[in-house]
Structure 1
Amino acid sequence: MHYSGDYHIHTPFCLHGSNDPFESYVIQAIKMGLKEISFTEHAPLPKDFVDPVPNQDSAMNWSDLSTYFNEGNRLKNKYNDRIKINVGFELDYIEGFDRDIRNFLNEYGKQIDDAILSVHMLKTPDGGYHCLDYSADAFADLITLFGSIDNLYQKYYQTLLLAVQADLGPFKPTRIGHLTLIEKFSLKYPNPMNQLNRIKSILQEIKSRGYSLDLNTAGLYKPDCQSIYPNLEIVKLAQKLKIPLVPGSDSHQASTLAQGFDKIKSYL
């Protein structure tokens, strides 16, 4: 085994995830021989932000925060001689909500063991917000909204750059989530334009700040992607820049912990 942990895992507090008990993830990780896991639940969205997906289930509820920490800490203590458990968040960077995100981190940062900063929500030309990875049909609507698929990709990478550069205070996550998530539907909606220069500038920013990248295997199991995030070309560029790569399955159920890690072990 070339990896010791899975550092991107969701929990029953994820409204769009599974109902697997919190503890079942820990038991599964121990069974697999993992030495460490990070629970990175979708942090509650800013209170003034309206979740654009139909069921408004992109992130955990504000009312669940204390239960999430309490249950996570209970498991940490129960299993501390068998596995290292980190309790934290996958935090959404949403353009225009820097202050809200900073306030959240300032309030809860001391309780966070590990965290990821990701972009799922894009500000659209009509001034609204849309979730970029909700479904292939919703992605097609986004292409129409932006006028072309390349405009959409450009907006995603611009927003990602904003996330890397944002001043979110002392508790800002320093690991950038699924860098090429925009490629989730790329087999159905390919972009003929090359993104390399855009991505290179983001990698330089990540390198200059000493940040790391989420090496995320979830895309391998998405029918319209079938690639890790970031894709292999970008992984190799990150390696040349000596940007740390942190393996994550992005599991939303216990049975998929460390899924696909055999395919990324040579990069770890």
Structure 2
Amino acid sequence: MLITIDSHVHTPYCPHGSPDRLADYCEQAIKQGIHTLSFTEHAPLPPSFSDPVPDADSAMKPNDLVCYLEDVAKVKKEYAEHLTVKLGLEVDYLIGIENETRAFLNEVGPLLDDSLLSVHFLETEEGFLCLDYSPEMFELLVKRLGSVEAVHKRYYQTVQASISANLGPHKPKRIGHMTLVRKFIQKFPTTASFHNETDLILQLVRNQGLELDYNGAGIQKAFCKETYPPREIAVQAARMNIPLVYGSDAHTAKGLLSGRDFLISI
């Protein structure tokens, strides 16, 4: 399948990513026939939020934000003749911390060309946990919430809440990897159906005129081996005329276009 855009790409400003330069991504994009590249680095987490992963490296450091914005703007100009570069962010939806997220978007949103709204953290009675950090942290989520099924339900409910949340006029128009909870599905399987939950997400996305991140990263994950969302949901979204916007979720330049051979034709 011919793909000429990659709309979910990370950078050296990601603490858990690679040191590949922005120029490395741009050169690789041109080599692979990409016409449009969106840098969507993890936005800094809200000041009141404590990153629950061991190295607290889930997102860009607040002090790096200005440099990130400047550096992407620079390559945007440098490669303008060969590549459309978009300046974006991947913003975390954190239930209960919407006011801080809205304030951040009000400040930074006018500077952006693109953005995603994603759920990586789930709330438990003992605090937030990162659902995609590791199998061990996912297992801890299972213990805290009571079952694999409960984790899936909590995730989809949080995605639903993110779509409905009032995050102001600069709220992202694209929902990131809507089935990220399936990252470890082969290690933590479930026979339960979550069609009602995913159907509601699609309905909310369509009703609000949003887009879905059609994310190829899961194909590369040892316990996933499927796109986010998987084929069945992608087909359903396409039938509902929901825009599926491809993104590799690359954290290295060579990761661009990951999973493209597993996409449905859109």
TM-score (norm 1): 0.98
Distance 1:147 1:125 in 2: 12
Aligned-residue RMSD, C-alpha = 0.9
Alignment of 1:130-169 (within 5 A): 130-169=129-168
Q: Give how far 1:148 is off.
A: 0.9
Q: 2:195 aligned with 1:196, yes or no?
A: yes
In 1, Cα distance between the equivalents of 2:197 and 2:7?
Answer: 26
Aligned to 2:265: 267
Query: Which amino acid letter does the alignment assign opposite residue 254 of structure 2?
Result: S
**SS of residue paired to 1:267:** coil
Q: Where in structure 2 are the equivalents of 1:30-179 lying within 5 Å?
A: 30-126=30-126, 128-179=127-178
Distance 2:204 2:258 in 1: 29
Q: What TM-score comes out, normalization by structure 2 length?
A: 0.98
By how many angstroms is 1:267 displaced? 2.7
Hey, what does 1:256 align to over in structure 2? 255
Q: Tell me the alpha carbon deviations over residues 44-102 of structure 1, each in whole angstroms, 9 at most, x when there is no partner.
A: 00001000000000000110111101110110111101100001101000001100110
Identity %: 44
Partners of 1:175 and 1:118 in 2: CA distance: 9
Q: Which runs of 5+ in 1 are unaligned?
A: none
Contact preservation (8 Å) 2:176, 2:212: yes
Alpha-carbon distance between aligned partners in 2 of 1:8 and 1:57, rounded to the nearest angstrom: 19
Query: SS of the residue aligned with 1:57?
Result: coil
Give the AA of the match of 2:52.
Answer: P
Q: Letter of the aligned partner of 1:242 in structure 2?
A: N
Please name the residue that 2:8 is paired with.
8
In 1: Cα distance, 2:43 partner to 2:259 partner: 25
Helix, strand or coil for the counterpart of 1:39? strand
Matched with 1:234 is 233
1:256, CA displacement in angstroms? 1.0
Query: Runs ≥4 in structure 1, deviation > 6 angstroms?
Result: none
The count of corresponding residues between Structure 1 and Structure 2 is 266
The residue matched to 2:26 in structure 1 has which SS? helix
Distance 1:13 1:262 in 2: 28
Displacement of 1:167 in angstroms is 0.7
Equivalent in the alignment of 2:246:
247
How many angstroms apart in 1 are the aligned matches of 2:235 and 2:112?
A: 30
